[in-house]
A and B are shown apart, each in its own frame.
Chain A
């Protein structure tokens, strides 16, 4: 088959990104314009501000990507875009831009689900082998997906309330260590001991997660200490919190692998960069003879490379869209 170059756009949250990906696995060029410094002032992503920046940056990011790849639009075989889930105003900028490009250049338009993108970030590092279980953990998602074959998704379970990354951010806010909370708490957790008793969230036999109760427990603990004039040991709280998060994620992931009789696990999403989660999963997988992989750290957070990778396999399965494509903030992965 002839080489296929896909120009992909990702604007589902606060990164404006464009990437050219060859054959679903080679990152030819990627530009990511992050707004993280802007949203830090507000303690989290402000949707309207994110959308405003996407509109400002969209064509510059696309041009920057073509320049970096030393390619022209004529060299592009198809366009891909994240159409959901995500922040609707943000998604729309990417979707309208991709639709317009596909129309102007009369090339296929491939709609990509954001989670499919996170999963296929793994294919850039190493070719994915099926069947597999994908654990997607990020600021907006906590999902366990079973993949029988290429671009076939079966959602086993996910969070019923907060995403795991979201709970890190909220706990970081309670103990006053800033936004985003994941990397900071991960670092602090390495320095503390498991001093505080926190509840293990949704400790059942389903594949679902729930992190809002855990977050409340941390808030209560903090209030309680404040009232009694006891100083909370932040490192120990970070360790106690991370231990509980890791335990519940590892337990349910290994359960899914065993139930489905699958020996390949991939970890995806921004929280895949969390060393606590990664190392514990690796250890458990080794124990159970399960092959565990995760993307390069730069492909863990939101980027268009993963969208371009997923789009290649989506296209092979016949998924294309036309000018009527809409963004959807809340769609299932099927």
Chain B
């Protein structure tokens, strides 16, 4: 059983091929603006270098955000197109879920993605109970810190962004094995319905709602 994992929700490309629980090959590379050029070639390279035909992939696990709007769309367009065209089941995982699955030894981890203007996309994961005590949110850093200040135990942010905080901050390094294991029993989605989880409506919609409420 071969799984293809794809996450382009930040400036990094995280891609992996797993055979059951074993990692066959991975790419973790900061691509920034080249994400739109290089994501597909890197997937091709990964498959070719390991003599794997795309038809041999049994499952796609794709990250659907939150994060960079354009980044998410690049990966999801590729993932849903492959899934639809080749009838390969596709399962979605939130980028914050994937980030929470790190092996850091803290009581709570706080996967966070900078959303500008002192806001982040974040959640709070309780490692002991293996559950989220704050579900993913578009939240101001100030509010998030109040939540964290009230927790009992050690706390660490996980982020590749420059988060201004006095708590510990560790970079995100994906644990592909745990990610795939985490979504093992998750129901596949109809590829046509694969969509991004932006966690935030657009500014135009915000203004429109504001003006229609006035």
Interface residues, chain A, with chain B CB atoms under 8 Å away = 41-42, 46, 48-49, 51-52, 54-56, 58-60, 62-63, 73, 88-89, 92-93, 95-97, 99-101, 103-105, 323-327
Given the interface contacts A41-B208, A49-B202, A96-B81, does A89 sit within 8 Å of B73 by beta carbon? yes
Which residues of the partner chain B approach A101 to less than 8 Å between Cβ atoms? 81, 85
Q: Which residues of B contact A59 (CB under 8 A)?
A: 80-81, 84, 191-192
* Chain A residue, CB-CB nearest to B72: A55
Whether A96 lies near B77 (C-beta < 8 A) is yes
Q: Smallest CB-CB separation from A48: which chain B residue?
A: B202
Q: Among B38-46, B92-100, B128-136, B165-173, which stretch is in contact with chain A?
A: B38-46
**A58 neighbours in B (Cβ, 8 Å):** 77, 80-81
- Bound-state CA distance A325–B208 (Å) is 36
Q: Judge whether B86 and A104 touch: CB under 8 Å.
A: yes
Interface flag for B36 (CB, 8 Å): yes
Main secondary structure of the interface of B (DSSP, over half): helix
Asked if B77 contacts A48 (CB within 8 A), the reply is: no
**Cα separation A99 to B40 with both chains bound (whole Å):** 8
CA distance A149 to B51 in the complex (A): 45
Chain B residues with CB under 8 Å of chain A are 36-41, 44, 54, 69-70, 73-74, 76-78, 80-82, 84-86, 191-192, 195-196, 198, 202-205, 208
Complex A-B: 6 CB contacts under 8 Å: A42-B208, A51-B73, A55-B77, A58-B80, A92-B74, A104-B82
Known interface pairs A59-B80, A104-B82. Does A323 touch B70 (Cβ–Cβ under 8 Å)?
no
* B195 contacts A100, C-beta separation under 8 Å: no
Residues on the B chain within 8 Å of A92, using CB: 36, 70, 73-74, 77
Asked if B44 and A323 sit within 8 Å, CB to CB, the answer is yes
> With A and B bound together, what is the CA distance between A99 and B203 in angstroms?
30
CB < 8 Å: which of B38, B40, B192 contacts A100? Answer: B40
Chain A residues closer than 8 Å to B208, beta-carbon distance: 41-42
Nearest to A90 among chain B residues (CB) is B73
Q: Chain A residues with Cβ under 8 A from B73's Cβ?
A: 51-52, 54-55, 89, 92-93, 96
Alpha-carbon separation in the docked complex, A105 to B81 (Å): 12
- Asked if residues A73 and B77 are in contact (CB atoms below 8 Å), the reply is no
Question: A327 near B36 (CB under 8 angstroms)?
Answer: yes
A326→B191 CA distance, assembly (Å): 24
Q: Looking at the assembled complex, report how far the CB atom of A133 sits from the nearest CB atom of chain B, in whole angstroms.
A: 35
A104 to B196, CA, bound (A): 23
Q: B38's closest neighbor in chain A, by CB?
A: A324
Q: Report the bound CA distance from A46 to B203 in whole Å.
A: 9
Q: A46-B205, A89-B70 are in contact. List 17 more A-B contacts (CB 8 A).
A: A42-B208, A48-B204, A52-B196, A52-B202, A55-B73, A55-B76, A55-B195, A58-B80, A92-B73, A92-B77, A96-B36, A96-B39, A96-B74, A100-B77, A101-B81, A101-B85, A326-B37
Which single residue of chain A is at the shortest CB-CB distance from B205? A49
Kindly list chain A residues whose C-beta atoms are within 8 Å of the C-beta of B76. Answer: 55
CA distance A326 to B196 in the complex (A): 21
Which of A48, A92, A100, A103 has the most chain B CB within a 10 Å cutoff?
A100
Contact: A56 with B78, CB < 8 Å?
A: no
In the complex, chain B residues whose CB is within 8 Å of the CB of A55: 73, 76-77, 195-196
Distance in Å: Cβ of B69 to nearest Cβ of chain A: 6
Whether A103 contacts B69 by the Cβ 8 Å rule is no
Query: B60 to chain A: closest CB distance in Å?
Result: 12
In the complex, are the beta carbons of B37 and A324 less than 8 A apart? Answer: yes
CB distance from B9 to the nearest CB of A (A): 13
Distance to closest chain A CB from B171 (angstroms):
27
Q: Would you call B69 and A48 a contact (CB within 8 A)?
A: yes
Q: How far is the CB of B192 from chain A (nearest CB, A)?
A: 5
How many Å lie between the Cα of A89 and that of B33 in the bound state?
12
Q: Tell me which residues across on chain B come within 8 A of A49, comparing CB atoms.
A: 202, 204-205
Residues of chain A with a CB closer than 8 A to B37's CB: 324-326
A91 to B195, CA, bound (A): 17
Q: In the bound complex, do residue A95 and residue B36 qualify as a contact, i.e. CB atoms below 8 Å apart?
A: yes
| Nearest CB in chain B to that of A325: its residue | B37
Query: Would you call A103 and B202 a contact (CB within 8 A)?
Result: no
Q: Which residue of B lies closest to A95 (CB)?
A: B36
Residue in B44, B192, B196, B198 whose Cβ sees the most chain A Cβ within 10 Å: B192
